[in-house]
Structure 1
Amino acid sequence: MVELIWPWFLVLLPLPLLLHWLAPARKPLDQLRWAHVSLLQQHQGQYQHSYHLFARGLMLLAWCALVAAIARPVWLGTPTQITPSGRDLMVAVDLSGSMQVTDMTINDKPADRLAAAKAVLSNFISERKGDRIGIILFGTKAYLQAPLSFDLPTIEQFVQEAQIGFAGEQTAIGDAIGLAIKRLQDKPADKKVLILMTDGANTAGRVTPLQAANFAAQEGVRIHTIGIGADSMVVQGFFGPKVINPSTDLDEPLLTEVANLTGGQYFRARSTNELARIYRLLDELEPTPATDTWQRPKTTLFHWLGLLSLVSFALSLWFGHHVQIRGKKS
């Protein structure tokens, strides 16, 4: 179904006919635009006359396409069901070098922390019907990977495209919180939530996590923090296998205080299963409402009509020029 955003521009469609009607009678419009038409008709007959009519038809098509493009037509797609919750939810994911530690599993196969986070986070996003979700990636610096959007498949794709090292090797937790606050600030949402997932401590950035958390509390942003990483793993040492704690850098007191300052909770994910349970719990803490509405995606047709107008105008000039040349040769 096609809908016009500015339908009143269609009143311009008869303008060429109006100009032709108001033109002085001393010289027909076709003679003003296409010289030698009478000569062509005299010497070459209906063949050149058809060229002339076709050129004028293309000019008329170019005008109609231009007016239609200005009217801003949009194609209304198939209605989709959404659950508007009035909630803006940002997810901040740590991409520092330590996220490549292989102390998690996916389908009983070893996996690094980022791969496990991607797998669980994708499932979580797909179930957040009605929430606007955005993604922040942080390492040495914090970057906005995806702005707040209802387009969950695209958000999931952005999550899968994240790679370790994109944002640097260190961990700027404070900057990630600050960026989330900036993106959530002045939004007319009933609830503003940040889920921050990291495996380390704040080692970079211009803002400390506690400063950012206090500002988040003032702005009404609730922060849930997740510390990811196993408590123990077996590695091959010089004298054989040994057990180490790969999460010694995780600053749990800091993450707990950040969550407490903003009314959120801190969670510890030592395995992929624990991480999945945490996100299920977050679903309960931040539920989506049951009221559904329908939304129809819109695709603009402006550029296609604009291209049609341009091509038609160029062809009309070419045919008109061709008619004149053949007339002169005759």
Structure 2
Amino acid sequence: MFEFVWPWVFVVLPLPYIVRRFMPAKRMSQSAALRVPTLQTLAGTDSKPSGTSAYMTLFAFLVWALLVSAAAKPQWLGEAVAIPNEGRDLMIAVDLSGSMKQTDMQIEGREVNRLNMIKYVLADFIERRVGDRLGLILFADTAYLQAPLTFDRNTVKTLLDESMIGLVGERTAIGDAIGLAVKRFSEKEKSNRVLVLLTDGQNTAGNITPEQALSLAVANKVTVYTIGVGADEQIINSFFGQRMVNPSQDLDERMLTNIAQQTGGQYFRARDTDELVGIYQMLDSLEPVEGNSQKMRPQSALFYYPLGIASLLTLLAIGIAIIKPSLVALTNSKNGKVDV
């Protein structure tokens, strides 16, 4: 919508008429030492009313109206945008170790590896976190901050989608991932600090142990929700016939459960896509999006439009006033008239 911030400025709009009507200018003496030129004198018009002077008066009033409009601060207000009163910091840590290549998950009937399943389900979860600041950590041999805490959910989704298995190594540094998240949270004092960590293995690398990372998380009041990804025991066909395998035999559920309980979070088990969807829905209820928010309308200043038009018109009038006498003199010379 369009509005003037200071509409009361328009009370000065009739000021030139009032001054001209009730405070007439004194006639200038013929012997005056200094004459101030006006648009009328530059144009060669006298003080008697004429069509030209009437046009000049309307022109001057138009310029005045534009200047008053600019002073009233016109602006355009955009659509209202919700701004959360209290921000929530939610960091997502995703395992990119070599074991994530295991194709024991399904999406709409087709087999996919664990990372692709996480990307598929996590995209919708990220989309629903309106008002939260989200961050993304990728970990394997060590942990890397892929996306700092931001309200830009589309960027977080894009960076997650571009991640690849083996990008940061083949092993699993769970302790480093938790430690890095705690470090990023500590940069902002007031927030609800939540870490969602997804892994399919146990800690086999890194600079700090899961126990050390747990102590840091507890000291900094970071809530950790851990999710163990991987199918249960299943029967597969091989050259020697059918045999039972456990794709999740390396998953350290005891360690993940302890980390979640000690930080006030929960441990979840994602054996398939449906279970992971249910886990994210549960996380929405455990860590709901902030409901109360303020509304803000983006403002775009428009004062420079009437100000610019007024400046151009003034320059145009001055140019015409300067050029017109020369044109009149040139016309008179061609017609054989000589000014005395």
Shared fold (TM-score, shorter chain, > 0.5): yes
CA-to-aligned-CA distance 1:124-163 (integer Å, 9 cap, x gap): 1100111100000000010001000000111111111111
Cα 1:257/1:109, change in 2 over 3 Å: same
Change in CA separation of 1:121 and 1:297 when aligned onto 2, cut-off 3 Å: farther
Q: Is it true that 1:133 corresponds to 2:134 in the alignment?
A: yes
TM-aligned CA deviation for residue 77 of structure 1:
7.4
Q: After alignment, is 174-183 or 79-88 more displaced?
A: 79-88
Kept in 2: contact 1:178–1:212 (CA 8 A): yes
CA 1:287 to 1:85, structure 2 compared with 1: closer, same or farther past 3 Å? farther
TM-aligned CA deviation for residue 295 of structure 1: 5.3
The yes-or-no answer on 1:200 pairing with 2:195 is no
Offset of 1:188 from its aligned partner?
2.7
Aligned to 2:45: none
Q: Which residue of 2 aligns with 1:228?
A: 229
Structure 1 spans left out of the alignment, 5+ residues: 2-74, 300-330
Does 2:121 correspond to 1:120?
A: yes
Q: Does the 8 Å contact 1:85/1:288 carry over to 2?
A: no
Following the alignment from structure 2 to structure 1, what is the Cα–Cα distance between the partners of residues 213 and 102? 28
Offset from partner CA, 1:209-253 (integer Å, 9 cap, x none): 111011111001111100000012343422134331100000000
2:147 partner letter: A
Letter in 1 for 2:128: E
SS at match of 1:248: coil
State the match for 2:254 in structure 1: 253
Report whether the alignment pairs 1:91 with 2:92: yes
Instruction: Point out which structure has higher relative CO (alpha carbons under 8 A, 6+ apart).
Output: 1
- For residues 186-215 of structure 1, the C-alpha deviation after alignment (integer angstroms, 9 at most, x for no partner) is 313331010111000000011011110111
Q: Is the 8 A contact 1:194 1:224 kept in 2?
A: yes
3-state SS, counterpart of residue 143 of structure 1: strand
Q: Are residues 214 and 297 of structure 1, via their aligned partners in 2, closer, same or farther at CA, if it must alter by over 3 Å?
A: farther
Q: Please, what TM-score do these two structures have when normalized by structure 2?
A: 0.63
Query: Does the aligned pair in 2 maintain the 1:101–1:112 contact within 8 Å?
Result: yes
In the other structure, the counterpart of 2:215 is 214
- Structure 2's unaligned 5+ residue stretches are 3-75, 301-340
Counterpart secondary structure, 1:158:
helix
Amino acid at match of 1:186: E
Q: How many residues align?
A: 226
CA distance in 1, matches of 2:260, 2:185: 17
- 1:251, 1:287 → 2: CA distance? 28
Pairwise CA RMSD: 2.1
Return the alpha-carbon distance in structure 2 between the equivalents of residues 140 and 78 of structure 1. Answer: 46
Match of 1:146 in 2: 147
Distance 2:162 2:297 in 1: 27
Secondary structure of 2:145's counterpart equals strand
| 1:9-56 Cα deviation digits (max 9, x unpaired) | xxxxxxxxxxxxxxxxxxxxxxxxxxxxxxxxxxxxxxxxxxxxxxxx
TM-score (norm 1): 0.65
Worse-superposed segment, 286-295 or 178-187: 286-295
Larger Rg: 2
Could you tell me which amino acid in structure 2 is paired with residue 256 of structure 1? T
In the other structure, the counterpart of 1:272 is: 273
Structure 1 letter corresponding to 2:124: N
**In the superposition, relative to structure 1, how do residues 298 and 148 fare at CA in structure 2: closer, same or farther (>3 Å)?**
farther
2:177 is equivalent to residue 176 of structure 1: yes
SS of residue matched to 2:156: helix
